Amino acid sequence: MGKFELNYVVEGDGEPLLFIHGLSDNMIYWVALAAGLKRNYQIIRVDLRGHGGSALGSDEITIDLYCDDLKNLLDDLNICKVNLVGFSLGGAIALDFAVKYSDMVSSVVLMSTFSRCDDYLKCIFNEFKSNLSKGFGEFYDYMIPKALCPEVIEKNRDELEIIKEFALLNANVEAYLKACDACLRFDVEDRLSEITQPVLILAGRYDEITLLKYQESLHEMIENSELVIFDNVKHNLLVGKNNGVIVDILNKFYKK
């Protein structure tokens, strides 16, 4: 397998933070956090294979492959140590990276993620696949109520529709289906005890995808970890004022 070229952006100076987005998202997901952190850190935002501006390629899509892509990118950027920040699928990739390339990892921030696909998550990812097979629009309409609380949806209905129309222009359904399959096969739970770096786990109390109990379990199994629970969100934590709150939380975490 040859080296694969990913679409990415590097902003700011300082200790490097690598942001890894979720399934069907892209690097734009992190714009608000990047804006709040790039004065003090080097921010690396990347599009995973088949997402945003990155091609899908012909390799079998696995969490390991996403992980190796990121390792190759960091090598190209001459970065030997990095702080990982991953949301959902991106969090699973961050966990895999922390286990596989431990010497390269300074810390890990996990948002709404999972370490293995149990029966509940298998149902979730198979529902994702079922809706994706009908088209990205169907998938988006299915996902929004699972990712956001009703009051957020109502308040931002017009903006969410604009986001949907924009996403439809670039959606790679094949890539998202393969990402679901990669998640269905993922399991690093028995290796979590190997992670010794500081880990910050951010969770939504009402998350219907990666349930709160998964975040609590990660906290229990990773010795050097702390858990912060947001009472006002589901799966997507980066809603409204939470962006500023999370910037503050990350700044404090990195200064420890």
pLDDT digits (tens, 9 = 90+) for 35-87: 999 999 999 999 999 999 999 999 999 999 999 999 999 999 999 999 999 99
Query: Cα(202)–Cα(221) distance, rounded to whole angstroms?
Result: 15
Query: Cα(217)–Cα(225) distance, rounded to whole angstroms?
Result: 11
Structure-token match 């005890």, residue found: 193
One-letter amino acid for residue 133 of the chain: S
Q: Is 172 contained in some domain?
A: no
Q: Is 62 contained in some domain?
A: yes
Q: Is 64 contained in some domain?
A: yes
Range of the domain at 228: 8-116+187-255
Q: Is 32 contained in some domain?
A: yes
| Helix orientation angle between 173-184 and 89-100, rounded to the nearest 10 degrees | 50
Residue 1 predicted with pLDDT over 50:
no
Q: What percent of the chain has pLDDT over 90?
A: 96
Q: For position 242, which CATH number holds?
A: 3.40.50.1820
Q: Is 208 contained in some domain?
A: yes
The domain total for the chain is 1
Sign of CA dihedral 119, 216, 96, 11: positive
Q: What is the pLDDT of residue 157?
A: 94
Q: What is the mean pLDDT of the chain?
A: 96
Cα Rg for the chain, rounded, in angstroms?
A: 17
Predicted confidence (pLDDT) per residue in 184-233, tens digit: 999 999 999 999 999 999 999 999 999 999 999 999 999 999 999 999 89
Q: Is 157 contained in some domain?
A: no
Q: Is 167 contained in some domain?
A: no
Residue 3 predicted with pLDDT over 80:
no
Predicted confidence (pLDDT) per residue in 139-159, tens digit: 999 999 999 999 999 999 999
| Cα 114 versus chain centre, distance | 10
Q: Is 223 contained in some domain?
A: yes
Residue 251 predicted with pLDDT over 80:
yes
